[in-house]
């Protein structure tokens, strides 16, 4: 009806004002919204910076008030009054008169100086004319007289200048008498007010801080997918303005200080940016896009939690230990110890020795029935073994057993001693030996799980021996204990230098550790050729040779996918099998449902969690899964997932990379050796390890820690001989340093490792030629007695049980000259706790003074040198006696 009426109205009489009003209103609102969106919604960083500035000013005001409260107000007032009086002195009649007179004299001096310079110029001109006349043979007496006149003028003006300078210097003494007092008081006042002034300077900067985008450009940072060099832009500091401000340590995000300020010394965000470590979208200026939460197609979203350490591997893929990244170190340790590189190609894990024992001589060690049970389910015999469960069927397990028994029967291995040589031992004595000589550093037995718990892994680094009596034959065990390398030339198991009697005792004790469960009575057909061939195929198919040396399979390759770029794999490329999908935005990534199935987030993180938790859950009726079950704990899964996230080919250009120089290479090679031979089970090295010490009520009765100064401490030749054939240093300790049968090349790597940690170079030195300064011997002997060094440090044969308990005894000083570096002894005496935190060795020398004033007038440097000389002489005498004996 309305439209009909409008249609009947002539065009020139129609009104559009209502429509204009409505659309104008919409346009106005849209314009206002666009302005608001542009100024506020898209620029939250402005509010952040304004809020940050207010927070900083508030905190600085609070800190200033606290600093002002700590000032000595009486001293401040006294200084102010003294300064006012001193400044009044500058206005005294004497000082003012001296200043005025000095000003007048300075003007006269300026005139005299000018006239002296003019005289010099006239003299030079006269000298030139006179010399010219001589050269022309027309010597002129008038020229000679003019030259003499000008020279006399120079002398006259110089005398005037000297007289004026003398008078000015006298006036300066008068002026400085007042001025020096003012300067001294002002310096004292500045020193007193320095904290306040520093805060005032920060306040001034905070008040003047501009609100602006803060951008870091990393030129020539990385390559594009098309191999072109490109820059990277970071604007993270635009919002995270408090990253370097200590006052913001407890502030909320994004104002909070970086939690690891010490890392920023090496990774300065002003030059290194933030995204190389934290990822995210650097140029973005809103949290959703900068962190990647709203941009679901951004391939490198912000890393959170433990995943933040993943990017350490970008530059540190060749290193197993990073002191400031404990989760990263632990993840790499798990990968190394779990043998993931046996099946997968992994960056940083090339040429790593197999982690499992050889399988060529099993029939000399154990029975076919035990092999069958172990292959079928290793976790059934030892829940904490590193060997994963492949969930083989009985038929597959029997086939693999048949093949292993076949090659075992073909083995030429024979025990070194006749059958029955193990007999005659005492289980009681064996138990005592097992608990004292160091077996528990690597092997768990029974309910004693202290080392395992201290180590913090779900698996053991060496076989648990709770049921070993049902596994190995006594003859093999005796041979193994006497010389592990006879059975396995590449074993990590060291020799404890056991006597035959001690070995028999241990065999007797370990033989009592039986599996009390019903034995497997299944009849195995191990001679069937078809079954043996099937076992061969299965072993190759499942990649057993990746962890174990197996006859005929020395050249087998990796059986699974390479992981060197796995962190870049998209979740769309992953197969989730028949698992139920959990919400991508929920907190649960993996859950076991009541119906026996599992639910997994269909994300990269969810898939990896499920794969590491239960590798077989993604199998379907058409797609089998061969990866075995490792039984990792949740914490280990989290760390391994972080490690896999780090597996990318994203490498910055050399200018931004960590320099892996020769010293770092030496350190890394040594680290890998200490990890391979489980040195860290006994010794704390680089703030990790020393797990067996948890067994002792008195830690001093356990193995010594090896501080980073170890390379600066011991002589290279001594370390080589000690690792080759360990000698006794602390005879009161029951735990033994074993013999690892290291090659000379391996010992060289360990030596360079400790030298590298100490930032020293390998050098050939004759420490025996170190001179003994006779003038220090007598004072050194006296100091040795005054400080009662012999109370803890033996200087000869030691028998624990005297006045000092065994836990308080320290190394034998008669060995010092053949073991320690002389310069290290000096450093040690200066400050023992600096070189070895937690040491019981007291510090006697403070602020350059020794406690005994009668020796070298208490001069600490001289006393330390005297003590070192005397200790060195003890070792030198011992060394000469040994040399004569030889």
pLDDT in tens, 125-136: 988 888 888 888
Q: How do residues 576-610 score in pLDDT, each as one tens digit?
A: 888 888 887 777 788 888 777 888 889 999 999 99
- Quote the CA–CA distance of 153 and 140 in Å, as a whole number: 20
- Collapse the DSSP code of 612 into the 3-class scheme (helix H, G, I; strand E, B; otherwise coil) and give the result: helix
Stronger pLDDT, 352 or 886, i.e. the higher one? 352
- Quote the CA–CA distance of 548 and 829 in Å, as a whole number: 49
Q: Determine the pLDDT at residue 95.
A: 84
Token pair for 279: 């990822």
Token pair for 816: 């010092």
The per-residue DSSP string of 408-462 comes to HHT-----SS-TTTTTT--HHHHHHHHHHSSGGGT--BTTB-HHHHHHT-SS-SS
∠ CA 71-77-79, rounded to 5°: 95
**405: nearest Cα among 539, 516, 515:** 539
Q: Which residues pair with 689 in a beta bridge?
A: 684
Q: Determine the pLDDT at residue 880.
A: 38
Q: Determine the pLDDT at residue 60.
A: 92
Q: How do residues 519-548 score in pLDDT, each as one tens digit?
A: 777 788 899 999 999 999 999 999 999 999
Neighbours of 553 (CB within 10 A): 17
- Quote the CA–CA distance of 278 and 677 in Å, as a whole number: 35
Q: How do residues 358-416 score in pLDDT, each as one tens digit?
A: 999 999 999 999 999 999 999 999 999 999 999 999 999 999 999 999 999 999 999 99
**551: nearest Cα among 393, 378, 352, 363:** 363
- Collapse the DSSP code of 393 into the 3-class scheme (helix H, G, I; strand E, B; otherwise coil) and give the result: coil
Over residues 43-68, mean pLDDT? 91
Q: Determine the pLDDT at residue 645.
A: 95
Q: Dihedral of the CA atoms 117, 118, 122, 127 (nearest 10)?
A: 0
Q: Is the predicted pLDDT of residue 1 greater than 70, yes or no?
A: no
**867: nearest Cα among 756, 746, 787, 780:** 780
CB 404 within 8 A of CB 362: yes
- Quote the CA–CA distance of 373 and 746 in Å, as a whole number: 37
- Quote the CA–CA distance of 251 and 817 in Å, as a whole number: 55
- Quote the CA–CA distance of 190 and 197 in Å, as a whole number: 8
pLDDT band, residue 73 (cuts 50/70/90) = confident
Q: Determine the pLDDT at residue 563.
A: 93
Token pair for 164: 């004026």
Q: Determine the pLDDT at residue 881.
A: 36
pLDDT band, residue 40 (cuts 50/70/90) = confident
- Quote the CA–CA distance of 278 and 624 in Å, as a whole number: 37
- How does the average pLDDT of the chain come out, rounded? 88
Over residues 800-823, mean pLDDT? 78
Q: Determine the pLDDT at residue 546.
A: 94
Q: Is the predicted pLDDT of residue 461 greater than 70, yes or no?
A: yes
Q: Determine the pLDDT at residue 91.
A: 84
Main-chain dihedrals φ then ψ at residue 481, nearest 5 degrees: -65, -35
Q: How do residues 704-728 score in pLDDT, each as one tens digit?
A: 888 888 999 999 999 999 999 998 8
- Collapse the DSSP code of 706 into the 3-class scheme (helix H, G, I; strand E, B; otherwise coil) and give the result: strand
Token pair for 333: 């340790």
- Backbone φ/ψ region at 852: left (φ over 0), alpha (ψ -120 to 50), beta: beta
CB 796 within 8 A of CB 814: yes
∠ CA 20-21-26, rounded to 5°: 95
CA 814 to chain centre: 36
Position of tokens 């050939």? 764
Q: How do residues 196-224 score in pLDDT, each as one tens digit?
A: 899 999 999 999 999 999 999 999 888 88
For 672, how many CA atoms within 13 A lie in the half-sphere containing its CB? 20
- Sign of the dihedral defined by the CA atoms of residues 197, 203, 208, 211, in that order: positive
Stronger pLDDT, 517 or 880, i.e. the higher one? 517
CA 221 to chain centre: 24
∠ CA 498-414-490, rounded to 5°: 65
- Collapse the DSSP code of 746 into the 3-class scheme (helix H, G, I; strand E, B; otherwise coil) and give the result: helix
Neighbours of 391 (CB within 10 A): 15
CB 617 within 8 A of CB 588: no
């Amino acid at each position: 009806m309305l439209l009909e009426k409008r249609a009947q109205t002539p065009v020139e009489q129609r009104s559009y004002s209502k429509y204009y009003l409505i659309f104008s209103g919409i346009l106005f609102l849209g314009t206002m919204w666009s302005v608001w969106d542009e100024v506020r919604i898209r620029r939250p960083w402005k509010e952040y910076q304004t809020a940050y500035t207010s927070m900083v000013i508030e905190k600085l005001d609070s800190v200033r008030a606290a600093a002002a409260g700590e000032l000595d107000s009486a001293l401040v007032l006294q200084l102010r009054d003294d300064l006012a009086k001193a400044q009044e002195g500058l206005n005294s009649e004497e000082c003012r008169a001296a200043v005025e007179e000095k000003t007048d004299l300075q003007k006269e001096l300026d005139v005299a100086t000018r006239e002296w310079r003019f005289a010099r110029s006239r003299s030079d001109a006269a000298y030139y004319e006179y010399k010219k006349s001589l050269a022309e043979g027309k010597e002129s007496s008038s020229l000679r007289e003019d030259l003499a006149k000008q020279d006399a003028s120079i002398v006259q003006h110089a005398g005037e200048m000297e007289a004026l300078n003398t008078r000015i210097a006298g006036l300066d003494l008068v002026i400085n008498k007042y001025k020096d007092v003012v300067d001294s008081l002002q310096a004292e006042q500045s020193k007193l007010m320095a904290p306040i002034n520093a805060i005032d300077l920060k306040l001034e900067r905070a008040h003047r801080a501009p609100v602006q985008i803060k951008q870091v450009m990393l030129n020539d940072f990385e390559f594009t997918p098309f191999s072109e060099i490109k820059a990277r832009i970071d604007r993270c500091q635009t919002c995270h303005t408090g990253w370097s401000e200590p006052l913001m340590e407890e502030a909320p995000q994004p104002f909070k200080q970086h939690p690891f300020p010490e890392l920023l010394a090496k990774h300065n965000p002003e030059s290194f940016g933030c995204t190389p470590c934290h990822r995210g979208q650097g140029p973005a200026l809103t949290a959703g896009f900068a962190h990647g939460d709203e941009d679901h197609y951004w391939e490198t979203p912000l890393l959170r939690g433990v995943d933040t350490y993943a990017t350490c591997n970008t530059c540190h893929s060749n290193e197993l230990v990073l002191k400031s990244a404990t989760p990263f170190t632990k993840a790499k340790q798990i990968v190394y110890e779990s043998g993931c590189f046996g099946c997968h190609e992994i960056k940083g894990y090339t040429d790593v020795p197999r982690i499992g024992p050889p399988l060529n001589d099993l029939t000399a060690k154990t029975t076919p029935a035990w092999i069958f049970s172990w292959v079928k389910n290793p976790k059934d015999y030892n829940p904490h073994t590193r060997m994963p469960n492949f969930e083989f069927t009985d038929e597959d397990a029997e086939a693999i057993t048949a093949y292993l028994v076949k090659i075992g029967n073909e083995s030429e291995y024979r025990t070194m001693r006749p059958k029955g040589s193990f007999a005659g031992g005492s289980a009681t004595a064996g138990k005592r030996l097992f608990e004292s000589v160091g077996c528990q550093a690597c092997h768990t037995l029974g309910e004693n799980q202290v080392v395992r718990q201290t180590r913090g892994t779900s698996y053991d680094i060496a076989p648990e021996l709770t049921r070993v009596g049902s596994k190995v034959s006594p003859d093999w065990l005796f041979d193994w204990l006497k010389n592990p390398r006879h059975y396995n030339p590449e074993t990590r198991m060291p020799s404890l230098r056991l006597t035959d009697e001690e070995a028999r005792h241990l065999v007797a004790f370990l033989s009592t550790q039986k599996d009390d469960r019903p034995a497997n009575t299944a009849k195995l057909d191990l001679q069937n050729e078809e079954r043996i061939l099937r076992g061969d195929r299965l072993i190759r198919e499942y990649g057993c040779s990746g962890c174990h040396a197996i006859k005929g399979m020395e050249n087998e390759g990796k059986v699974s996918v390479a992981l060197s770029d796995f962190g870049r794999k998209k979740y769309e490329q992953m197969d989730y099998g028949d698992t139920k999908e959990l919400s991508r935005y929920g907190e649960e990534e993996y859950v076991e449902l009541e119906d026996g199935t599992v639910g997994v987030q269909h994300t990269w993180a969810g898939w990896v969690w499920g794969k590491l938790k239960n590798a077989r859950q993604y199998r379907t009726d058409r797609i089998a899964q061969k990866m075995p079950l490792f039984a990792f704990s949740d914490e280990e899964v989290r760390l391994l997932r972080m490690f896999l996230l780090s597996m990318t080919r994203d490498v910055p250009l050399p200018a931004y990379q960590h320099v892996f120089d020769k010293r770092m290479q030496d350190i890394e090679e040594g680290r890998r050796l200490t990890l391979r031979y489980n040195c860290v089970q006994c010794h704390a090295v680089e703030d990790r390890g020393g797990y067996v010490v948890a067994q002792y009520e008195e830690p001093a009765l356990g193995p010594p820690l090896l501080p980073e100064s170890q390379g600066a401490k011991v002589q290279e030749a001594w370390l080589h001989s000690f690792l080759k054939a360990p000698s006794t240093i602390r005879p009161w300790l029951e735990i033994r340093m074993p013999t690892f049968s290291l090659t000379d090349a391996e010992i060289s790597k360990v030596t360079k490792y400790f030298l590298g940690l100490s930032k020293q170079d390998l050098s050939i030195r004759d420490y025996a030629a170190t001179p003994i300064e006779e003038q220090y011997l007598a004072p050194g002997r006296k100091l040795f007695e005054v400080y009662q060094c012999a109370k803890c440090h033996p200087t000869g044969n030691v028998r624990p049980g005297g006045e000092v308990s065994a836990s308080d005894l320290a190394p034998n000083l008669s060995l010092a000259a053949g073991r320690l570096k002389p310069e290290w002894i000096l450093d040690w005496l200066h400050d023992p706790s600096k070189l070895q935190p937690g040491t019981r060795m007291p510090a006697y020398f403070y602020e350059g003074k020794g406690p005994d004033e009668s020796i070298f007038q208490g001069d600490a440097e001289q006393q330390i040198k005297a003590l070192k000389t005397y200790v060195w002489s003890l070792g030198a005498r011992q060394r000469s006696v040994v040399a004569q004996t030889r």
